[in-house]
């Protein structure tokens, strides 16, 4: 069993519902909503392009999936996430927009978000005591030869290459999309997500996700709202 600490909007947030339809799975309930009806892309094509993202559910990685340390329990981890969230501040972003990153499409902040970057770094460090060290096979699965020296150090020290200066907040919507398919997939994403991306985006909670067994879909074990709601920070 592995755990991860992600940002995802609450279960009833409009963005959560739209993303669950797009990805074909709701990690809060395990429901499989029908694909949206969009111009130029069939439900089967949507399912194909979202297959790799579907297993993880709609999220932004803050603390990447990890096995629990020998001296830690799930209850202790969940309690620590709840306490951390209660003492944190919400972060107001100017908005999210679809962006192509390394061949896949994701929602990313429309502008610089230094408060969000700092928050992500705190999550990495605060919860590292709950993480078991990576095995040799887990390190190899990260293709270490393709990482920069900094990313490789991050992998060994923190269990994930893309933290701190290498971190980029993103909420994955597809697997890698071929150049020939990109215009249609991008147009479909714009059509589906435009209504919920018109408003500012708020990072307002932390979710503890769990992978019950290798290869199983990740599910939300618990969701904790960030506590200082009256003091929203603008990134």
Contact 104, 174 (CB under 8 A): yes
What confidence score (pLDDT) does residue 235 get?
A: 40
Other residues' Cβ atoms within 10 Å of the Cβ of residue 173: 25
HSE (CB half, 13 Å, CA atoms) of 74? Answer: 11
- Looking at residue 234, its pLDDT comes to 34
- The domain total for the chain is 1
- For the chain, residues with pLDDT lower than 70 are 228-235
Tens digits of residue pLDDT in 199-232: 889 999 999 999 999 999 999 999 999 985 433 3
pLDDT tens digits for range 1-31: 999 999 999 999 999 999 999 999 999 999 9
* Domain at 93, CATH number: 3.90.1140.10
Residue 170 sits in which domain range?
2-234
Between CA 196 and CA 87 the distance in angstroms is 28
- Name the nearest CA neighbour of 107 among 222, 196, 180, 39: 196
Q: What is the pLDDT of residue 94?
A: 87
For residue 228, the model assigns a pLDDT of 55
Distance of CA 41 to the CA centre of its chain: 24
Instruction: Return the pLDDT at 227.
Output: 87
Helix (H, G, I), strand (E, B), or coil: what is residue 174?
strand
pLDDT at 229: 45
Dihedral sign from CA coordinates of 118, 119, 124, 128: positive
């Amino acid at each position: 069993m592995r755990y991860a600490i992600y940002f995802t909007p609450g279960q009833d947030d409009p963005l959560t519902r739209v993303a669950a339809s797009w990805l074909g799975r709701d990690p809060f309930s395990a429901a499989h909503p029908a694909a949206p009806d969009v111009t130029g892309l069939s439900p089967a094509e949507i399912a194909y392009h979202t297959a790799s993202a579907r297993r993880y559910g709609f999220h932004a990685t803050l603390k990447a999936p990890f096995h629990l340390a020998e001296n830690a329990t799930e209850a202790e981890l969940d309690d620590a996430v709840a306490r951390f969230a209660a003492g944190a501040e919400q972060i107001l972003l100017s908005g999210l927009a679809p962006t192509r990153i390394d061949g896949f499409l994701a929602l990313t902040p429309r502008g610089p978000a230094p408060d969000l970057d700092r928050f992500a770094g705190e999550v990495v460090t605060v919860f590292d005591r709950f993480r078991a060290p990576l095995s040799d096979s887990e390190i190899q699965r990260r293709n270490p030869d393709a990482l920069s020296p900094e990313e490789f150090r991050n992998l060994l020290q923190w269990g994930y290459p893309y933290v701190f200066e290498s971190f980029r907040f993103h909420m994955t919507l597809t697997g890698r999309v071929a150049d020939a398919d990109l215009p249609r997939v991008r147009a479909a994403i714009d059509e589906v997500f435009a209504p919920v991306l018109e408003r500012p985006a708020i990072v307002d909670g932390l979710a503890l996700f769990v992978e019950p067994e290798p290869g199983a879909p990740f599910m939300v074990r618990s969701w904790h709202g960030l506590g200082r709601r009256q003091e929203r920070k603008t990134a």
